[in-house]
Chains A and B, each alone.
Chain A
Amino acid sequence: MADKARTVSKGTVRQTNLAWRRLGRAFRLYISRAQLAGAVLLAVLGFATTAQVQSLRADDEFATADRPDLIQMLDGLQQRTRRLEAEISELEQAKAELASGADRTRTAVEQAETRARTLGILAGTLPASGPGIRLTISDSQSAVTASLILNTIEELRDAGAEAIEINDKVRVVAGSYVLDGQGGILVDGLLIPPPYTIDAIGDARTLSTAMRIPGGVVDEVAQKGGLATVLEPRSVQIDSLHRPVAPRYARPAPEKESGSNK
């Protein structure tokens, strides 16, 4: 019995050794067709495995994440998208508001500038040029009085003169006054000696007609012994400026709610 057992164990040992020997022989360095075939196929296997692993690693973690994780991620991303979209729309609204605000501001500034120019010409704080007439009143006998000049100014205004200047020195504005003075007339405190040259910007034909109308300025001056001539130059230049003073008494009235004065 013991003998038999020994032979069995011996056999298994031999068999084990045989398997090891075969394995060892396979690992010895020698060239055979089997070795070459194994080499080629194993190279292909190694290459494919590495490529696959690398591609998975090159992909991101999503490729290996399981479904609940992916759903959670997707959910989070969707929430973020919604939040960011809301933010985008908010910002776009703000941008549109700012743009329209800027537009409004620019329009307001343009309107204000236009108005300032208009008012500047009306108030005599800006030089003006344009069509008009040049009325020259020569007065050798000191017969032309301040009231005649005032009349002339009124006539010019009636005829639509937009800017008036006397002797290239004084701009006639709403608050201008005319007085008789020594050796001439006083306009806004400034002595103007004759001859008087009145420049007026407006429709030249209307203005000259108003001057030449029978019984008008030209006639009146002629009656008093002076000589009035009306020229219609292509362009009348008015350079003298009125220096505005702040009103002492008048204040801007608080605007009414209807805002009629826009």
Chain B
Amino acid sequence: MIATIGLFVGVIAGLLLQPSVPLWLQPYLPIAVVAALDAVFGGVRALVDGIFDDKVFFVSFIGNVLVAALIVYLGDQLGVGAQLSTGVVVVLGIRIFSNMAAIRRRLFKA
């Protein structure tokens, strides 16, 4: 519950503060958000599996974000930033869907 409240607090803070994304962060933020989303779905999956662990969740969240940013940075340096970003988004999207499927199987047996 508190976690959900935290989500809402974050969204409302973003809406109210209208933060402008700093220029150096602009290429990384979208990928970081998708990576974090993947970590969140993984966390929910662990939750319904009964193996949720806050440390693992924390580490996977931060790790996902950092690795995603690193990949984008590396791609930018190599000149394939756009393609690599697309690849990361695709992979993370697949993971999100598979996590979602696992959650669904757990909850609905279907």
A residues sitting closer than 8 Å to B (CB atoms) are 12, 15-16, 18-20, 22-23, 26-52, 54-55, 58
Contact with A along B68-107 (1 / 0, CB 8 A): 0000000000000000000000000000000000000011
A20 to chain B, nearest CB (A): 6
With contacts A18-B50, A27-B4, A40-B6 known, is A45 near B57, CB below 8 A?
Answer: no
Of all A-B residue pairs in the complex, the 10 with the closest CB atoms, nearest first, are A50-B14, A46-B10, A39-B6, A38-B3, A43-B10, A34-B54, A42-B7, A46-B11, A47-B10, A43-B6
Interface pair A51/B19, CB less than 8 Å apart: yes
B58 contacts A37, C-beta separation under 8 Å: yes
Contact A41 B57, beta carbon cutoff 8 Å = yes
- CB pair B9 A55 closer than 8 Å: no
- Say whether B54 contacts A38, CB under 8 Å: yes
5 inter-chain pairs at a CB distance below 8 angstroms, sorted by A residue, are A38-B2, A39-B2, A47-B11, A48-B33, A55-B26
Contact between chains at A45 and B37 (CB < 8 Å): yes
Interface of chain B residues 1 through 34 with chain A (CB within 8 A): 1-11, 13-15, 18-21, 26, 29-30, 32-33
With both beta carbons as reference points, the residue of chain A lying nearest to B60 in the complex is identified as A41
> Is the beta-carbon distance between B14 and A54 smaller than 8 angstroms?
yes
Query: B58 — which chain A residues lie within 8 A by C-beta?
Result: 37, 41
Q: Which chain A residue lies CB-closest to B14?
A: A50
Known: A41-B6, A51-B21, A54-B18. 8 other contacts (CB 8 A): A19-B48, A28-B1, A29-B2, A41-B58, A42-B40, A43-B10, A43-B13, A50-B14
Set B1, B10, B109: member contacting A12, Cβ < 8 A: B109
Contacts of B109 in A (CB 8 A): 12, 15-16
Q: Which residues of A contact B47 (CB under 8 A)?
A: 22-23, 26
Q: In the docked arrangement, what's the CA distance between A35 and B2, Å?
A: 6
B53: nearest chain-A partner, CB-CB: A34
Q: Which of B4, B7, B39 has the most CB of A within 10 A?
A: B7
User: Which residue of the partner chain, among A12, A18, A43, contacts B7 with CB atoms under 8 Å?
Assistant: A43
Query: Are the CB atoms of B36 and A41 closer together than 8 Å?
Result: yes
Q: Are B26 and A50 in contact (CB under 8 A)?
A: no
B52 near A54 (CB under 8 angstroms)? no
Flag B35-62 by CB within 8 Å of A: 1 or 0 each: 0110110010001111011100110010
Q: Provide the residues of chain B in CB contact with A54, threshold 8 Å.
A: 14-15, 18-19
A50 pairs with B15, CB closer than 8 A:
yes
Whether B21 pairs with A52 at a CB distance below 8 angstroms is yes
User: B1 touching A45 by the CB < 8 A rule?
Assistant: no
In the complex, which residue of chain A has the Cβ closest to the Cβ of B110? A16
Complex CA–CA separation, A212 to B52 (angstroms):
134
Task: Indicate if the CB atoms of A16 and B108 lie closer than 8 Å.
Answer: yes
In the assembled complex, the CB of B97 is this many whole angstroms from the nearest CB of chain A, namely 18
Known: A20-B107, A55-B26. A46 touches B8 (CB 8 A): yes
Q: Which of A22, A28, A41 has the most CB of B within 10 A?
A: A41
Residue from B2, B15, B30 in contact with A52 in the complex, judged by beta carbons closer than 8 Å: B30
Which residues of chain B are near A52, meaning CB under 8 Å? Answer: 21, 29-30, 33
Q: For B32, what are the chain A residues with a Cβ–Cβ distance below 8 Å?
A: 48
Q: Decide if A39 touches B5 in the complex (CB within 8 Å).
A: yes
Partner of B50, one of A22, A31, A32, A34: A22
Q: A22-B47, A52-B33 known; A43 and B57 CB under 8 Å? A: no
